[in-house]
Amino acid sequence: MKKIFDAVVVTGKYTKDGQEKNRYLTVGAVFQNDKGQSSLKLEAIPVSGFNGWINFYEPKSQTDAPRKEAPTATQADAGDFSDDVPF
């Protein structure tokens, strides 16, 4: 199956630099199989601010969004915590 669209909803609004902007949430994706049939796979169900409309956008490539990397062992161990459990 090939991903053809991101399923995105508007969940509210916010103000940035004096301009009102929409707050978006990607709730899933639309896939197309070898026979040309499309299917919607929901990963989340919007609750807050959802008006019933789901919009479909061309998927962004992996290089468009900044990648979040897992913390390294030294970052994860940065706090000098004791191994003793207080209870």
Three-state SS letters, 53-74: CCEEECCCCCCCCCCCCCCCHH
Cα Rg for the chain, rounded, in angstroms? 20
Check whether 78 has a pLDDT greater than 80: no
Q: What is the mean pLDDT of the chain?
A: 82
Give the start-to-end residue ranges of the domains of the chain: 2-59
Largest CA distance in the chain: 60
Check whether 53 has a pLDDT greater than 70: yes
3-state secondary structure 27-53: EEEEEECCCCCEEEEECCCCCCCCCCC
Torsion sign across C-alpha atoms 73, 79, 80, 85:
negative
The whole-number average pLDDT for the span 5-10 is 95
Q: Please report which confidence band the pLDDT of residue 86 belongs to, taking 50, 70 and 90 as the band edges.
A: low
pTM exceeds cut of 0.95: no
